Amino acid sequence: MKILAIETSSEACSAALLINDEIRQRYQFAPQKHAELILPMLESLLAEAQLSLNAMDALAFGRGPGAFTGVRIASGVIQGLAFGADLPVVPVSSLAALAQQLHRETGETQLLAAFDARMKELYWGAYEVDADHQLVRLVGDEVVCLPEQVPLPTAGAWHGVGSGWCAYAAALNERLAPRLSGWMGDERYPRAEEVAQLALSRFKKGLAVSAEHALPVYLRDNVVRQPQSDIAQEKREGNTAIKKPL
Amino acid sequence: MRVLGIETSCDESAVAIYDSEQGLLGHDLYSQAGMHAQYGGVVPELASRDHVRKLVPLIKQLLERTATCAAEIDGVAYTAGPGLVGALLVGASVGRSLAWSWNVPAVAVHHLEGHILAPMLEQNRPAFPFLALLVSGGHTQLIRADGVGRYRIIGDTLDDSAGEAFDKTAKLLGLSYPGGPELARLAEQGNQSRFRFPRPMTNRPGLDFSFSGLKTFAANTVREQDDDPQTRADIAHAFQQAVVETLVIKCRRALQQTGLTRLVVAGGVSANRQLRIRLRETATQLGSEVFYPGMEFCTDNGAMIAYAGWLRLKAGEQEPLAFAAKARWPLNALANNTDEQLTGC
Ligand SMILES: Nc1ncnc2c1ncn2[C@@H]1O[C@H](COP(=O)(O)OP(=O)(O)OP(=O)(O)O)[C@@H](O)[C@H]1O
Ligand SMILES: [Mg+2]
């Protein structure tokens, strides 16, 4: 089984090639550099393994939530590759990928992944680890909400991970205190390696989609601020309202 | 050579296939204008979200409709700027990765070069050198074009573009976004002599434009007059006439100053009937020839990108796997790698 995966929803950019039980990865912390880095990363992975894109069984991508522009780069790149090479795509939650990473590193089995979503909110998902496969499984729904309003997990010893924990440490600690065993914040970002790992099991379950359905999941949908009647001026000046795309 | 062109710089997802022997094989377009209309203008984030949903289905449909198989495509061209960076990135990600998966070269096209070269998709193609009047939603420029990639901006707007002035005035008249074409229709019912709007910056030398004053003038006129359908039509008429005459005066001046004998008019506003009539008259008087894109290729489209991309691919240009979108990208900063094409198109 061969899966090529990418994850560009955060400040980090990564690509991974899964061949059976082995995963190789390219990873770089590189804000705003995803478009520049992602295809060269894929090319170098394939070259190292002496494989062509057509030899893949599936493609996978971190479908968000995360930075809008980053998530769309992943979706756009994967749609182009999947359409061109006629491959199925497995969309994987970027929150789940980060939870999986923490599980792998620490062995924690109850995980609360949170990304800073700006505007005082965070993207949130609770995950438990399936003992058979050692893979995370979503509990409840992924949401975008205020830190004071995150869904309370069942009793247990939950472990937090992600940039949201740095941004809203006090509020989250207060809300989750009795159920929280600890958290790790900023230095971890979702990675293609876990995207590939999670994609493998989803692919086996028949959860792949075709190229045009490899779409982002934003969670935040109230994105209309001001009517953009000055779009022409923006175009001339080259600034757009999506400079800070979270 | 057969090139797939992709355009996503603003609120149109557009694709086309250009064949160097057979010409344009087909093109498709999905306009988001209806979605943005309710906000009175383009919302960049919504535009990007729609492109990523629509683009690949459009490509798929175009390949099927033109009975083109992937192996027949020799290159992929996508608009890389200028425009809304999030929107551009969708076309760039899909275009660049698709080219890689097909194992063909990709090329990043300048949106305004696409507009300027759009008349070359017609039977009667302009030869270089020519004067180009680019009148679109984001730009109003007079450009001296000496060859592919060899452009010099000799006149520019100091504030609003012509299309923007049309759209903003249309909004004042209660027309929905983008109101340019509707305003032009309304103007047909207008009375010639009721109002007279200024012709900004025409009574001093130079080739620059300024349209924001016209919009203000329109706003004041709307405020002072009764709000009835005939008055609205009369205002539309006077406004359109002022824009058209201003553009005509500057084109005449530019043709005379440069000694060029060919005028290319491109961009959304080049669809305007009055502008076309008046520029043709002027060109005839000066012994010049004027060239327009086909009506469907005035506003954003994939055909102009496929065509401009073909010229650049033919000249050996190619994007690396590292792709980019540029919100800003001055037209006169374009590399010219295509000298030998000067006579070829
Ligand atoms: N018949 C017409 N009369 C006047 N204006 C028109 C007409 N048809 C289209 N327009 C105007 O053309 C503009 C759209 O043109 P176009 O699509 O070329 O611009 P854009 O792509 O948004 O801008 P740019 O190419 O500078 O980034 C709009 O402002 C629209 O109102
Ligand atoms: Mg345009």
Q: Which CATH number fits the domain that encloses residue B233?
A: 3.30.420.40
Strand, helix or coil for residue A160: strand
pLDDT digits (tens, 9 = 90+) for A213-243: 999 999 999 888 654 445 555 555 543 333 2
Do B308 and B336 belong together in one domain? Answer: yes
CB contact under 8 A, A230 and B41: yes
Do B286 and B307 belong together in one domain? Answer: no
**Helices B85-102 and A68-85, interaxial angle, to 10°?**
30
Residues at Cβ < 5 Å from ligand 2 ion: B 136, 300
Domain count, chain B: 2
Do B195 and B249 belong together in one domain? Answer: yes
The string of DSSP letters for B181-222 reads: HHHHHHHHTS-TTS-----TT-SSSSS-B--HHHHHHHHHHH
The reply to whether ipTM tops 0.85 is: yes
End-to-end CA distance of chain A: 35
Do B240 and B319 belong together in one domain? Answer: no
Does B172 fall in a domain? yes
Does B239 fall in a domain? yes
Say whether residue B90 is in contact with chain A using an 8 A CB cutoff: yes
pLDDT digits (tens, 9 = 90+) for A116-134: 999 999 999 999 999 999 9
Does B122 fall in a domain? no
Do B214 and B163 belong together in one domain? Answer: yes
**Residue A243, pLDDT score:** 27
Do B248 and B338 belong together in one domain? Answer: no
Q: How far apart are CA B102 and CA A82, in angstroms?
A: 11
Which domain does B209 fall in, by range? 128-292
Q: How many CA atoms lie within 13 A of B163 on its CB side?
A: 28
Q: Do B203 and B252 form a contact (C-beta atoms < 8 A)?
A: no
Do B173 and B251 belong together in one domain? Answer: yes
Q: How far apart are CA A127 and CA A135, in angstroms?
A: 9
Q: Which residues contact B246 (CB under 8 A, 6 or more apart)?
A: B199, B200, B201, B202, B209, B211
Do B108 and B7 belong together in one domain? Answer: yes
Do B41 and B110 belong together in one domain? Answer: yes
Do B148 and B68 belong together in one domain? Answer: no
The string of DSSP letters for A58-96 reads: EEEEE--SS-HHHHHHHHHHHHHHHHHHT--EEEE-HHH
Q: How far apart are CA A146 and CA A148, in angstroms?
A: 5
Lowest mean pLDDT segment, chosen from B161-165, B176-180, B306-310: B176-180
Does B171 fall in a domain? yes
Token code pair at residue B239: 């406004």
The model carries a pTM of 0.94
Does B100 fall in a domain? yes
Q: Out of A77, A84, A229, whose CB is closest to B102? A: A84
pLDDT > 90: percent of chain A = 87
Please count the residues of chain B: 345
Say whether residue A134 is in contact with chain B using an 8 A CB cutoff: no
Do B233 and B328 belong together in one domain? Answer: no
Nearest CA distance, A134 vs chain B (angstrom): 33
- Give the end of a domain, one of B275, B292, B309: B292
Q: Do B131 and B260 form a contact (C-beta atoms < 8 A)?
A: yes
Q: How far apart are CA A182 and CA A152, in angstroms?
A: 15
Does B123 fall in a domain? no
Do B150 and B261 belong together in one domain? Answer: yes
Tell whether the model's pLDDT for residue A194 goes beyond 80. Answer: yes
